[in-house]
A and B are shown apart, each in its own frame.
Chain A
Amino acid sequence: AQSVSQHNHHVILSEAASLELGCNYSYGGTVNLFWYVQYPGQHLQLLLKYFSGDPLVKGIKGFEAEFIKSKFSFNLRKPSVQWSDTAEYFCAVKTGYNQGGKLIFGQGTELSVKP
Chain B
Amino acid sequence: DTGVSQDPRHKITKRGQNVTFRCDPISEHNRLYWYRQTLGQGPEFLTYFQNEAQLEKSRLLSDRFSAERPKGSFSTLEIQRTEQGDSAMYLCASSLIRGRKFNEQFFGPGTRLTVL
Q: Which residues of A contact B (CB under 8 A)?
A: 4, 9, 32, 34, 36, 42-46, 49, 90, 92, 94, 97, 100-108
Contact = CB atoms under 8 A, between A and B. Distances in A.
Majority DSSP secondary structure for residues of A touching B = strand
Contacts of A94: 102
B52 to A, nearest CB: 16
A34 B31 contact: no
Contact of B102 (A9, A32, A104, A108): A32
Chain B interface secondary structure, helix, strand, loop or mixed?
Answer: strand
Contact of B104 (A4, A49, A100): A49
B43 A101 contact: no
Nearest to B107: A44
Interface residues of B, number: 26
Given A97-B100, A100-B56, A101-B31, A43 B45 contact: no
B2 interface: no
Contacts of A100: 48, 55-56
Contact of A108 (B42, B100, B109): B42
Contact of B40 (A42, A49, A105, A108): A108
Contacts of B40: 9, 107-108
